[in-house]
């Protein structure tokens, strides 16, 4: 985890920036305030999905599997963030590719952690998979799984927010 302060924009309930920011590592949102994250469902030619396992050093949900992505930095939009996050976390450069599908999930929480997640779907190649190198401070490992394997991981309680992403996952593997 970086010692450098990372700021996130605060959004209203309609996903409009408020002009305020919060520190990623030390925040408590007020009711009606949201932050923004972005994830990318990375689909292989044979309709399998790249998933990553969170580092044991993570403050929250350490060791769980997830769809790769992360927080959108202040002043950044979610599309720029997803290209940055995927390159940082997996070494896959999506820079010359357009996403196949997009969806926004809104989660309101009473625990002062309400957020939007912008979900993107990208096709990846065998070359991309061979070049995967995980960002060790963020990720323990990665693997390519079928949708049924991912469902099994979720049933064991080892996948982060499966219920929030499953409909989009099914759409992406369509």
Q: 85-114: per-residue pLDDT in tens? A: 999 999 999 988 999 999 999 999 877 789
The three-state DSSP-derived secondary structure of 89-105 is HHCCCCCCCCCCEEEEE
The answer to whether position 47 is within a domain reads: yes
Determine the distance from the C-alpha atom of residue 30 to the mean position of all C-alpha atoms in its chain, rounded to a whole number.
23
Q: For the residues 144-161, what does the mean pLDDT come to?
A: 97
The answer to whether position 130 is within a domain reads: yes
Q: What are the angstrom distances between the C-alpha of 133 and each of 28, 91, 112, 140, 165? A: 33, 5, 34, 11, 24
The answer to whether position 2 is within a domain reads: no
Q: Give the total number of structural domains in the chain.
A: 1
The answer to whether position 42 is within a domain reads: yes
The answer to whether position 1 is within a domain reads: no
Structural domain boundaries enclosing 124: 7-173
Which pair of tokens denotes residue 91? 């070494």
| Of the ranges 107-111, 134-138, 166-170, the best mean pLDDT one | 166-170
The answer to whether position 55 is within a domain reads: yes
The answer to whether position 92 is within a domain reads: yes
Q: 16-49: per-residue pLDDT in tens? A: 999 999 998 877 899 999 999 999 999 999 999 9
> How many residues would you count in the chain?
174
Any idea what the CATH number is for the domain that residue 119 is in?
A: 3.90.79.10
């Amino acid at each position: 985890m970086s010692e450098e302060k990372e700021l996130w924009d605060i959004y209203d309930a309609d996903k409009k920036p408020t002009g305020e920011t919060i520190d990623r590592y030390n925040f408590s949102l007020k009711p009606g305030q949201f932050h923004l994250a972005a994830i990318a469902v990375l689909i292989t030619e044979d309709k399998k999905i790249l998933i990553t396992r969170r580092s044991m050093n993570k403050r929250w949900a350490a060791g769980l599997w997830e769809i790769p992505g992360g927080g959108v930095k202040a002043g950044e939009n979610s599309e720029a963030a997803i290209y940055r996050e995927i390159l940082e976390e997996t070494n896959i450069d999506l820079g010359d590719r357009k996403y196949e599908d997009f969806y926004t999930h809104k989660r309101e929480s009473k625990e002062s952690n309400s957020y939007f997640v912008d979900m993107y779907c990208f096709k990846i190649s065998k070359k991309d998979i061979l070049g995967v190198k995980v960002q060790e401070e963020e990720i323990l490992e990665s693997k390519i799984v079928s949708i049924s394997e991912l469902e099994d991981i979720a049933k064991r309680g080892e996948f982060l927010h499966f219920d929030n992403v499953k409909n989009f996952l099914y759409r992406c593997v369509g």
